[in-house]
Amino acid sequence: MGRGIRTSGATHKINNRGQMAVFVALLFQVLFVFFAMVINVGLLVHDKINLQNSVDIAAIYGAQRQAEILNAIAHNNYQMRQSWKLLAWRLRVLGDSGRIGHPVSNPANFSTDDVADPGLNDATPPTVCVIHALWSEFSMGSGAAVQNVCKTNQPVHQLSLIQNLAPFLPWSQAVNAYSRNMQLQFNKSCEEQGQYNWYFAAKWLASYKFDIRNRKKAIRELANLLTAHGPSDLQEISGGQMAEGLNKTLSANLTKANRANLGTVQIYNSMGGIDSTAWLPDIPVVPIVYYTHTQRNLRSGDCERQASPINLDFGGVLQVPNTLNLDPDGMLAAETREPLQGTDEAHSSLGVEKNPWYMAYVGVHAITQPRHPFAPFGKGVVLEARAFAQPFGGRIGPWYASQWQPEAETSSGNKIDSLLPSRFENSLLGDPDSSVPNYSRYPGDKIGLKSKLSLGSLRSIAPGTINVVSKFDYAWLPADFLTKDSEALAWNFNNQDPPAVRPMELEGIAPDLFDITYYSIEPNYVGNYLQQLQNLGSAVLFRHDLGYHGSSQDQGFSVRDQMSQTAALPGVQSLGYLVHNSDSGNAPLLTSWTQSKPVEYERSPSGFAYCNTLSKVAMAQVANRGISAPGDCLIGGRTGYSVKIVSKNYLNSQALELGGDGVTGPLKNAPGDF
């Protein structure tokens, strides 16, 4: 009996152990299920976060490609501003320098104070006249005895004919013959003076019009990179398609599970299919250019002179005396006339203004359905992510006026630069005084190149006021700008060297306080943008900054070189309003938006117009590997557009304050349901 009882107890113990083993096995399965669930949920959350981050990065990539194009547009627009400044400088500082009250001709009227020249008014506009001492071929003497026929608009009286009262006396015949010869020379000189004046005024105006025509084509071509490929893509400056690079960027940042199960990827380029003239309307103007017209009064014989405009006939026949054959094929006369339509590419222009109600941004929408190791059956969980990124902080240029209503095609209100001409709207001119090329040197400037200080720049920086410029310095103008080596500044092709007036022209166009306030200016445009643009294979010619002269100069000549060469001029520092930097040559241009930390969208005061010294060293190192950054600065200030993530709700808002103070409305290219 005892043995049976012991056997029964052992069996009971064995059964307990079996039950425990079964319980542990079942518990392990439950724990494993929970463990697998935790792992799968963790992987799912990881994939969801990864998908959103990858879509964010892809959107940023697309916005960066937009930003590159916008930066190139902004710089080309600034090149048009410089062309306008060059025309104004040539007309007011150089062309009008023979006027008796001009600070160059009259040192008593020169002032280091920034005050308006009282000699300039509606009755006495700046007028091109070259028959005086500044021009070597027309000086007719040297020193104080130099003849200046530009001093006054009063007629020059013809020399009286000495009558041959005693024809039987040889000396009387000789005096009479000499007198007649002097009259003939006087008459010939009177005719030729006006022709030379017209010739150089027409050259400068035609050169400006050729230059901005080319720049306008370049801007339109750049805008087409953004818009021509529709809402789903754009062409990059480097020549590739944004969608290709964006998809590679997205794929490279996805997890293995997301990449293997990636479904639909949608791209939204907000500028796709929009006509460039809608979001970049032109600012057509009609600049008035005066020259000193001379003609002989047949009744009195006097040489009469007056300020005459060369381009106010609007397509009519312009009668210009041409006995010197200065314009044998009539090209100058034709090019200085304005087309009847302001939309004509040959029409004079101040550049473009960006419509704020068209915003550049890129949207990316991606769907994945990743499979995870502990869910081998059935379909994976559908994951979805959407992101929008926007170029911001850059400046293509100022609007022409202070406000932009949501439904308007152009800006309206008070002019940002009050010294610019009236906007041409297929009608005749506005105020003649404001139509003579001029510009603000700083925000709020009311004088510009009417200033004694600016007008006297030649006296400040020139070695002297005698024979500073030669007609051969402009013998090549106007260039056709059909090659990348086309020249716009003065160049003496007789001597094949830069003339004395060339660096003075650089001073006239160099960046000033107004420029760095309203334009994104790339100091190294050649290295960062131009070389890529020239490799696009476009029929449009993308040209260097003003001051480039083919292979005889550094192939990288850009605004930075304009600034450094200008800073080297004697006396230029006293002129004011120009920006200089003797160290890197580009820091004053680094005035666009910059931040102190990567994820904090607050302006960094320490990074404004400043580049960290270590950044300059690092930039020099990476530049050798073909890597570039806008403004050539890695840490510190920057120029051009930055990129940030932006919400869909913001883009779809109906009350965005984009048109100036108090002017609100919706975007014309909002993403809607994308």
pLDDT tens across 216-265, in order?
999 999 999 999 878 888 899 988 899 999 999 999 999 999 999 999 89
pLDDT at 161 over 70: no
Asked if 53 contacts 253 with a C-beta cutoff of 8 angstroms, the reply is yes
Residue 628 located in a structural domain = no
SS3 620: helix
Q: What is the pLDDT of residue 144?
A: 39
Residue 633 located in a structural domain = no
Neighbours of 535 (CB within 10 A): 12
Q: What is the pLDDT of residue 131?
A: 84
Residue 10 located in a structural domain = yes
CA distance 398 to 414: 12
Q: What is the pLDDT of residue 425?
A: 79
Share of the chain above pLDDT 90, in %: 41
Residue 631 located in a structural domain = no
pLDDT at 403 over 80: yes
CA distance 404 to 138: 50
What DSSP character marks residue 92? I
Closest CA to 62 of 227, 264, 241, 239: 241
pLDDT at 156 over 70: no
Range from 51-65, 365-379, 571-585 that averages highest in pLDDT: 51-65
- Positive/negative CA dihedral, 621, 627, 630, 635: negative
pLDDT at 462 over 70: no
Segment 409-418 mean pLDDT = 95
Closest CA to 254 of 51, 392, 423: 51
Give me the residue label for tokens 């199960």.
261
Segment 197-206 mean pLDDT = 92
Q: What is the pLDDT of residue 617?
A: 65
Ramachandran angles phi, psi of 178, nearest 5°:
-65, -40
Share of the chain above pLDDT 70, in %: 80
593: pLDDT confidence band, cut at 50, 70 and 90?
Answer: confident
Closest CA to 461 of 386, 570, 539, 552: 570
pLDDT at 2 over 70: no
Q: What is the pLDDT of residue 375?
A: 66
CA distance 103 to 106: 5
626: pLDDT confidence band, cut at 50, 70 and 90?
Answer: low
Residue 634 located in a structural domain = no
Residue 122, beta-bridge partner list? none
User: Any idea which of 417-421, 443-447, 636-640 has the lowest mean pLDDT?
Assistant: 636-640
Residue 618 located in a structural domain = no
Q: How many domains does the chain have?
A: 1
169: pLDDT confidence band, cut at 50, 70 and 90?
Answer: very low
Q: What is the pLDDT of residue 621?
A: 66
User: Any idea which of 76-80, 102-106, 479-483 has the lowest mean pLDDT?
Assistant: 479-483
Residue 636, beta-bridge partner list? 611
Asked if 264 contacts 389 with a C-beta cutoff of 8 angstroms, the reply is no
Pairing type for strands 290-296 and 127-128 reads parallel
CA distance 523 to 86: 19
More confident residue, 367 or 143: 367
Domain enclosing residue 335, as ranges: 5-592+639-665
305: pLDDT confidence band, cut at 50, 70 and 90?
Answer: confident
Which tokens belong to 314?
């609007």
User: Any idea which of 44-58, 209-223, 377-391, 584-598 has the lowest mean pLDDT?
Assistant: 584-598
537: pLDDT confidence band, cut at 50, 70 and 90?
Answer: confident
Q: What is the pLDDT of residue 619?
A: 64
Q: What is the pLDDT of residue 13?
A: 62
Residue 430 located in a structural domain = yes
> Of all helices (H) and strands (E), which one includes residue 101?
none
Residue 608 located in a structural domain = no
Segment 268-290 mean pLDDT = 94
Q: DSSP secondary structure string, 153-167?
A: SSPBPPPPP---S-T
Give me the residue label for tokens 């104004």.
88
Asked if 190 contacts 202 with a C-beta cutoff of 8 angstroms, the reply is no
How much is the mean pLDDT over the chain? Answer: 82
pLDDT at 49 over 60: yes
Asked if 346 contacts 209 with a C-beta cutoff of 8 angstroms, the reply is yes
Which amino acid belongs to residue 251? S
- Positive/negative CA dihedral, 135, 136, 142, 146: negative
Q: What is the per-residue pLDDT across 59-92, written as a single tens digit (0 to 9) for each?
A: 999 999 999 999 999 999 999 999 999 999 999 9
What DSSP character marks residue 395? -
182: pLDDT confidence band, cut at 50, 70 and 90?
Answer: very low
CA distance 294 to 203: 18
More confident residue, 12 or 393: 393
Asked if 114 contacts 576 with a C-beta cutoff of 8 angstroms, the reply is yes
